[in-house]
Structure 1
Amino acid sequence: MKYLAISLFGAALLGACATPVADAPEATSVEAPAAPADVAAAETAPEAEMVVAPAVIDVAAVSEALAAAETRSDEDKARDAGRKPAEVLAYLGLKPGDTVADFIASGGWYTEVLSIAVGPDGTVYAQNSEAALALRDRAYDKALTARLADDRLANVVRKDEELTALTIPVGSVDVALTGLNFHDVYNAYGPDAAVGFLSAIRSTLKPGGVLGVIDHAGVPGADNNELHRIDPALAVASAEAAGFIVNVNSDILASAADDHTKNVFDPAVRGQTDRFILKLTNPE
């Protein structure tokens, strides 16, 4: 969770009926013509192997890999219990070898999770605007630089660029993610900018590609700007306006310990907030 100042652009049998026929006259002995070579080959060729789509990541295996990863700090691993990254990514349909993107990646906590989850055959884009990197004396810039030092996450491509000037290839991403960011975009810049933010990410997705939006659940009508939360209904409306098919999951990251009237940084709820996930599918 972080404070963000983000530069935005204002923002788818044929059946034949058997017909009775009269008995045919006795056939004369005539040699049948040879079948064309291509037909004969087709009749004798073995059946083509069925192509099976890769399975969604194995939650237990990814969780084990995250816990065992020597590249991850103890502080990063401690967040797994509350953030349930393997369960979230499985819900979003992530597969080994996918091309994925972490939008407003900040210091890269989810970037590293994605790197491990997609494996060496996958690609991870870690995007940040300059405004995000400049926050807190460039704390996120420094953290991401350290995380990627010595090419230790070799499948990660760092993208320090604005959403208005993305160099992530259009229509190339299987799964994108933005974690605990959307409320800042909506609350600081308004509904139009929020739709623009989601639309820019949608442009990078393949047809059928998915964007996961994770955020702190707010109370309708409350001052969610002050609380750093958002009413899930507002997030859904923005996603629909951006052209996504929307599914909402309020169970995976639910927290009964959360008092929705408290700021998410309040020690009483920090790290235990009630969070929702939007699974947004690009229909084109």
Structure 2
Amino acid sequence: MYRILLAITLVLTHAQLIACELKLDDAARSDADKIRDAASLPCEMATLLPLQQGDTVLDLLGGGGYFSELLAQQVGKTGKVLLHNNKAYLPYVGKQLETRLAKNRLSNVERLDAEVDALPLKPDSIDAVYFIMGYHDMYHVSDGWQINPQQLMKQIYIALKPGGRMLVVDHNAAAGSGVSAAQELHRIEAAYVSQELQGFGFNLVTDSTVLANRNDDYSKSVFDQLVRGKTDRFVLVVEKPTAR
């Protein structure tokens, strides 16, 4: 009986832990965002990277701003969310951004339209970074799109405050594949990313399997309808050391 009660307690504790304070049922949120919640697990992400009222957060290559709207709740009126996109991405997300930010409905979210080789970020000015489904794009090359990973991550490292953290989520690739799947399949190997981030000077805080899917065999593009929205995704949280 004791073990059963303990198990129930642990389940309830976990449920309370991931419940967080996000208002997912807020009437102002779009139906599309609410549907996405089931796949993106924003409460779990908020638990992995807790934020405080007044924090400044960078949503790096944040697309249409799904996470930015939720981050805005977390940092409150005294905080700020920098919703970043580069020129090449804007044609795909511009209308979403206009709708989401219309009439200043998210007053603490600031659009940051800037190329990744020259982000206008001051040193030690950012408390946290969300980098969602964009790490592999540093190794993808197409017309108008080419990123220098070392240069971008150096900027992020400098902009983060000591002790500041970055949440990285991306589509996993086969073990040992490194960055080779980034071009065609839009995937990248979790172990490679973890090692590279530590090579850039970050400390690994968390390696979570909350978005894992063992049924994904890594053979298909993330845009293939058979796996779209159901890929095996890795979640890493890294931290800028407080002292070196």
Which band: TM-score by shorter chain?
Answer: 0.7 to 0.9
In structure 2, the residue matched to 1:145 is 98
In structure 2, the residue matched to 1:259 is 217
- The secondary structure found in structure 1 opposite 2:225 is coil
In structure 2, the residue matched to 1:16 is none
Q: Check whether the contact 1:257–1:269 (CA below 8 A) recurs between aligned residues.
A: no
Q: Check whether the contact 1:195–1:241 (CA below 8 A) recurs between aligned residues.
A: no
Q: Check whether the contact 1:88–1:252 (CA below 8 A) recurs between aligned residues.
A: no
Q: 2:52 aligns with which of 75, 86, 95?
A: 95
TM-score by length of structure 2 reads 0.82
- The secondary structure found in structure 1 opposite 2:117 is helix
**1:262 shift after superposition:** 1.7
In structure 1, the residue matched to 2:157 is 202
In structure 1, the residue matched to 2:200 is 242
- The secondary structure found in structure 2 opposite 1:211 is strand
Instruction: Write out per-residue CA displacement over residues 19-57 of structure 1, whole angstroms, 9 at most, x where no aligned residue.
Output: xxxxxxxxxxxxxxxxxxxxxxxxxxxxxxxxxxxxxx9
**Cα distance in 1, alignment partners of residues 57 and 232 from structure 2:** 25
Q: Check whether the contact 2:117–2:148 (CA below 8 A) recurs between aligned residues.
A: no
Alignment of 1:16-35 (within 5 A): none
C-alpha distance 140-128 of structure 1, shift in aligned 2 (>3 A)? same
Runs of 4+ in 1 over 6 A off after TM superposition: none
**Cα distance in 1, alignment partners of residues 208 and 73 from structure 2:** 25
Which letter maps to 1:209? G
Identity of aligned residues (%): 39
In structure 2, the residue matched to 1:156 is 109
Q: Which has the higher contact order (CA 8 A, sep 6+)?
A: 1
- Alignment gaps of 5+ in structure 2: 1-15
- The secondary structure found in structure 1 opposite 2:141 is helix
Q: 2:119 aligns with which of 158, 163, 166?
A: 166
In structure 1, the residue matched to 2:137 is 184
**Cα distance in 2, alignment partners of residues 277 and 196 from structure 1:** 22
In structure 2, the residue matched to 1:276 is 234
Aligned residues: 220
- The secondary structure found in structure 1 opposite 2:84 is strand
Q: Check whether the contact 1:124–1:155 (CA below 8 A) recurs between aligned residues.
A: yes
In structure 2, the residue matched to 1:69 is 26
In structure 2, the residue matched to 1:216 is 171
- Alignment gaps of 5+ in structure 1: 1-56
C-alpha distance 245-61 of structure 1, shift in aligned 2 (>3 A)? closer
**1:88 shift after superposition:** 1.0
**1:194 shift after superposition:** 1.8
Q: Check whether the contact 1:194–1:238 (CA below 8 A) recurs between aligned residues.
A: no
Instruction: Write out per-residue CA displacement over residues 85-127 of structure 1, whole angstroms, 9 at most, x where no aligned residue.
Output: 1211221232233211101011111111211222222210111
**Cα distance in 1, alignment partners of residues 191 and 141 from structure 2:** 17
Is 1:229 the counterpart of 2:182? The answer is no
Instruction: Write out per-residue CA displacement over residues 134-187 of structure 1, whole angstroms, 9 at most, x where no aligned residue.
Output: xxxx13122112211100001111111123332233211111111001112124
**1:271 shift after superposition:** 0.7
C-alpha distance 266-164 of structure 1, shift in aligned 2 (>3 A)? closer
In structure 2, the residue matched to 1:110 is 67
Which letter maps to 2:139? Y
Which letter maps to 1:62? E
Which letter maps to 1:99? T
**1:193 shift after superposition:** 2.1
- The secondary structure found in structure 1 opposite 2:28 is coil
Q: Check whether the contact 1:98–1:123 (CA below 8 A) recurs between aligned residues.
A: yes
- The secondary structure found in structure 1 opposite 2:148 is helix
Q: CA RMSD of the aligned region, Å?
A: 2.1
